[in-house]
Chains A and B, each alone.
Chain A
Amino acid sequence: MTRTIEFRDALREAMSEEMRRDERVFLMGEEVAEYQGAYKVSRGMLDEFGPQRVIDTPISETGFAGLSVGAAMAGLRPIIEFMSWSFSLVAADQILNNAPKMLYMSGGQFPTPIVFRGNNGAGGQLGSTHSWCVESLYANVPGLKMAVPFDAYDAKGLLKTAIRDDNPVFFLESERLLGVKGEVPEDEYLIPFGEATTRRHGGDCTIVSFGRPLYFCLEAAGALADEGIECDVIDGRTIRPLDIDTIAESVRRTNYCVVVDQSWPFASVGAEVAAQVGEVCFDDLDNHVFRVHSDNVPAPYAYNLEQEMLPNARKIVEAVRAVTYNA
């Protein structure tokens, strides 16, 4: 039995279920308790779990991110909400230097099972300092995992897995997707990390992406189908670990690959996926791997400029045409 709920509800259900299941799990962040969540993701959770387990914080990401590292080392399992991943930058030392490395530096004594979650990517005219896509910055670091849910179903399944994972998990949501509705089963389910899924099947070109840009990819794939080009659209689901096998299996069939990444091009997740595809599928490629990214500029505030900056459907269509020598 499934029911239709919003992406934000799926996130809340995941957190609530895990908090009922394991009393060591708690939620902390700006506005998560009294205000019911800056984006209403944690609505009702303060009432159910009380102020010891749903905790409002001052505006100090370094402070509460650091607190979570200590709490985790002491045996708890924190969920830290960043109102925006843009704000995680001030907590970089805690989330990059401490959390992912603690297990290693302590010789295996102190795992840090923390989930850091929040909105990632352009949110709709939030300006350049509040529109960060952090995947390419952070994916480089060993010791962390990174998940990017596409819809309500994936949001719940991946978040539950993230909470149960003993490693720090960076959970990148999107403000633009919080209201998107989807079919979510009533019964419990988890989605394992490292397993990509295909959102659309086709034999002419492989498109790979994560999270919100997949909606642009599917839009592009629809337009391309009218031109007779059928695309395999692969949702990687988790950046770390990356399911290169599923991607490679598709590229071996299609011989062409376009990677769509909402972060900037240089030293990005898109570049990493393209490099891995090149390594694994060299003999099966008819062209080099193409990448579609956000333009190499800080996110504009003006609506039309922001839309143009993103890896939108038009750019994806052009890339697929070019890579398949149909330009």
Chain B
Amino acid sequence: MPIEITMPRLSDTMERGMIIKWNVKEGDAVSAGDNVADIETDKAIMEMQVFDDGRMARIVVPEGEMVEVGTLIAVLAENDEAIQDVAGAVSAGTPRVTAEKDAPETADADAGTTAASEPAPAAAGGRIKASPVARRLAEEHGIDLATLQGSGPGGRIVKRDVQRAVETGRETVAAVPPSARTPATTVTPTPVAATPAPPAALTTAVETIGGLQPGSVPLSNMRQTIARRLVEAKSTIPHYQVTVTFAMDALVGLRGTLNEQLTDQGVKLSINDFLVRGCALAIHHHPEFNASWGGDHLEIHAEVNIGLAIALPAERGGGLVVATIRQADRKSLRAISQDSKHLAQKARTRGLTIEEMSGATFTISNLGMFGVEHFTAIINPPNSAILAVGAALQKPVVRDGELAVGWEMSATLSLDHRIIDGASAARYLKTLKQLIENPATLLV
């Protein structure tokens, strides 16, 4: 008996879902418990598992298409069935309804649907033939294989095809009219800044084609999803900002001392490591900073997971991701340092898993390494706040009525006014300031 797989309800409030990425192809064997697809829900991107052993007979709904919960999305053949029989027997005419409720989302979803589904029928059952090297290169450069014409046998996409696409910065189109594609050139590249960054910072296009050349830069499904959620965050959460300046002399000194003493152990702490611990500890005194908006209630989370915004290089598709340091309040500085280095490395090379990118309850974005003094960030839903940190710089300061030179660092909280009011924000920052300016307290 063929096993029908429908769009699952992955959260209480989920009504529709979009398959961001199929992790299996038609013909692949699957076992119960395998993660076969990454699905975007109203809240997050989640993994979908199958509960049976079998083989993927037919992928009914391709990537990028929004369907209602309960819609047939794939069919599995049991191990003793022939895939062709199963695939043929299931009707391909399952209605795919895109809801009319959220207007801006629908418009994008429709455009996405048209664009994504056209190449699929052209290839047999949506399968794309590409060599392993070509796949890897395409992923590294954020190029969608469905947009390439393969020059290898049977239309196989080979390394040279991907290289050409990277060099020209244009997709070699299989069957998609250019107007159906979401225009990529207008996307703001550093979404955490309140003021838009100069357009020359466009990642993939400029770095690989060296200069201003017109053309469209394809964005991966993941990147498009992140873009959508940023718009949603900024437009639905009532943001406001509160800024504080930390006197950093003690922390700079302590960090220097610790790093010197820990050189032999290969530990190198960054200022951000201290901030992660500080923010996490401060949250214990201010639980609303570890909360999510629930409409008629606030959901206070048990674990303090600090998200770190990590910028991705062009080869990994550009943009940024938030990696999660779990239970940061229970981790030592060196454990935090190790985690954050590992996650940053992994994000820039192999990429992060869904697990590594989810679960953050509070986020920190740090542009200090670029010399930025002050900026504001967009809250990463479902968090209640985000801390935007600038560089620690030497400044003229006033101490005991006298002018002196001191280390100062500015940080700006963006907050969800539904959850945290100004006074609460100020109290949190006071707690945090106390920790950061008396950094030895972070060690215990």
A residues adjacent to B (C-beta < 8 A): 255, 282-287, 325
| Beta-carbon contact of B151 and A286 below 8 Å | no
Contact among A282, A284, A285, A325 for B160, CB-based, below 8 A: A325
- What are 7 pairs between A and B in contact, CB < 8 Å? A285-B132, A285-B133, A286-B133, A286-B134, A286-B159, A287-B131, A325-B160
B residues contacting the other copy or chain, number (CB 8 A): 10
| Beta-carbon contact of A287 and B158 below 8 Å | yes
Chain A residues whose CB sits within 8 angstroms of the CB of B285 once the complex forms: none
A284 to B133, CA, bound (A): 5
Chain A residues whose CB sits within 8 angstroms of the CB of B131 once the complex forms: 285-287
A118 to B386, CA, bound (A): 76
A255 to B158, CA, bound (A): 11
Residue B136 CB within 8 A of the other chain: yes
A282 to B131, CA, bound (A): 9
Shortest distance from the beta carbon of B255 to any chain A beta carbon, whole Å = 40
| Beta-carbon contact of B152 and A287 below 8 Å | yes
Shortest distance from the beta carbon of B361 to any chain A beta carbon, whole Å = 36
Select from chain A the residue with minimum beta-carbon distance to B151: A325
Q: Which residues from 123 to 165 on chain B have a C-beta closer than 8 Å to any C-beta of chain A?
A: 131-134, 136, 151-152, 158-160
Given that A286-B158, A325-B158, A325-B160 are known contacts, is A255 also in contact with B152, CB under 8 Å in the complex?
A: no
A271 to B209, CA, bound (A): 41
Shortest distance from the beta carbon of A204 to any chain B beta carbon, whole Å = 11
The secondary structure that dominates the B interface is helix
Chain A residues whose CB sits within 8 angstroms of the CB of B133 once the complex forms: 255, 283-286
| Beta-carbon contact of A255 and B136 below 8 Å | no
B residues adjacent to A (C-beta < 8 A): 131-134, 136, 151-152, 158-160
A285 to B156, CA, bound (A): 13
Select from chain B the residue with minimum beta-carbon distance to A252: B133
* Extra inter-chain contacts (18) besides given A282-B132, A284-B133, A325-B151, CB under 8 Å: A255-B133, A255-B159, A283-B133, A283-B136, A284-B132, A285-B131, A285-B132, A286-B131, A286-B132, A286-B133, A286-B158, A286-B159, A287-B131, A287-B152, A287-B158, A325-B152, A325-B158, A325-B160
Chain A residues whose CB sits within 8 angstroms of the CB of B158 once the complex forms: 286-287, 325
A287 to B136, CA, bound (A): 14
Chain B residues whose CB sits within 8 angstroms of the CB of A287 once the complex forms: 131, 152, 158
Chain A residues whose CB sits within 8 angstroms of the CB of B151 once the complex forms: 325
A22 to B373, CA, bound (A): 78
Chain A residues whose CB sits within 8 angstroms of the CB of B134 once the complex forms: 286
Select from chain A the residue with minimum beta-carbon distance to B135: A283
Chain B residues whose CB sits within 8 angstroms of the CB of A286 once the complex forms: 131-134, 158-159
Shortest distance from the beta carbon of A51 to any chain B beta carbon, whole Å = 61
A283 to B134, CA, bound (A): 9
Chain A residues whose CB sits within 8 angstroms of the CB of B152 once the complex forms: 287, 325
Select from chain A the residue with minimum beta-carbon distance to B157: A286
Chain B residues whose CB sits within 8 angstroms of the CB of A255 once the complex forms: 133, 159
A95 to B21, CA, bound (A): 55
Select from chain A the residue with minimum beta-carbon distance to B156: A287
Chain B residues whose CB sits within 8 angstroms of the CB of A285 once the complex forms: 131-133
Shortest distance from the beta carbon of B285 to any chain A beta carbon, whole Å = 49
Given that A325-B151, A325-B152 are known contacts, is A283 also in contact with B132, CB under 8 Å in the complex?
A: yes
A283 to B160, CA, bound (A): 15
A263 to B160, CA, bound (A): 33
A285 to B136, CA, bound (A): 10
A224 to B223, CA, bound (A): 43
A285 to B158, CA, bound (A): 10
Select from chain A the residue with minimum beta-carbon distance to B159: A286
A255 to B159, CA, bound (A): 9
A255 to B134, CA, bound (A): 10
Chain B residues whose CB sits within 8 angstroms of the CB of A284 once the complex forms: 132-133
A236 to B302, CA, bound (A): 59
A325 to B151, CA, bound (A): 9
A286 to B134, CA, bound (A): 7
Shortest distance from the beta carbon of B100 to any chain A beta carbon, whole Å = 44
Select from chain B the residue with minimum beta-carbon distance to A284: B133
A18 to B132, CA, bound (A): 49
Chain B residues whose CB sits within 8 angstroms of the CB of A282 once the complex forms: 132
Shortest distance from the beta carbon of A282 to any chain B beta carbon, whole Å = 6
Select from chain B the residue with minimum beta-carbon distance to A281: B132
A163 to B104, CA, bound (A): 79
A323 to B100, CA, bound (A): 51
A280 to B215, CA, bound (A): 38
A179 to B133, CA, bound (A): 44
A46 to B151, CA, bound (A): 64
A255 to B160, CA, bound (A): 11
A72 to B325, CA, bound (A): 64
A284 to B134, CA, bound (A): 9
Select from chain A the residue with minimum beta-carbon distance to B152: A325
Shortest distance from the beta carbon of B439 to any chain A beta carbon, whole Å = 45
A286 to B160, CA, bound (A): 9
Select from chain B the residue with minimum beta-carbon distance to A278: B132
A283 to B136, CA, bound (A): 7
Name the 8 nearest CB pairs between A and B, nearest first.
A286-B159, A286-B133, A286-B131, A283-B132, A255-B133, A286-B158, A282-B132, A285-B132
Residue picked from B134, B151, B159, B160, most chain A C-beta under 10 Å: B159
Chain B residues whose CB sits within 8 angstroms of the CB of A325 once the complex forms: 151-152, 158, 160
A282 to B134, CA, bound (A): 12
Select from chain B the residue with minimum beta-carbon distance to A283: B132
Shortest distance from the beta carbon of B370 to any chain A beta carbon, whole Å = 34
A284 to B151, CA, bound (A): 18
Chain B residues whose CB sits within 8 angstroms of the CB of A283 once the complex forms: 132-133, 136
Shortest distance from the beta carbon of B135 to any chain A beta carbon, whole Å = 8
A214 to B136, CA, bound (A): 32
A255 to B136, CA, bound (A): 12
A284 to B132, CA, bound (A): 6
A286 to B157, CA, bound (A): 9
Shortest distance from the beta carbon of A279 to any chain B beta carbon, whole Å = 12
Shortest distance from the beta carbon of B150 to any chain A beta carbon, whole Å = 10
Shortest distance from the beta carbon of B90 to any chain A beta carbon, whole Å = 31
Shortest distance from the beta carbon of B174 to any chain A beta carbon, whole Å = 19
Shortest distance from the beta carbon of A261 to any chain B beta carbon, whole Å = 24
A325 to B159, CA, bound (A): 10
A282 to B132, CA, bound (A): 7
A325 to B160, CA, bound (A): 9
Chain A residues whose CB sits within 8 angstroms of the CB of B132 once the complex forms: 282-286
Residue picked from B131, B136, B151, B160, most chain A C-beta under 10 Å: B131
Residue picked from A282, A286, A287, A325, most chain B C-beta under 10 Å: A286
Shortest distance from the beta carbon of B182 to any chain A beta carbon, whole Å = 30
A42 to B93, CA, bound (A): 80
Select from chain A the residue with minimum beta-carbon distance to B160: A325
A287 to B160, CA, bound (A): 12
Shortest distance from the beta carbon of A206 to any chain B beta carbon, whole Å = 13
Chain A residues whose CB sits within 8 angstroms of the CB of B159 once the complex forms: 255, 286
A286 to B152, CA, bound (A): 10
A93 to B160, CA, bound (A): 51
Shortest distance from the beta carbon of A275 to any chain B beta carbon, whole Å = 16
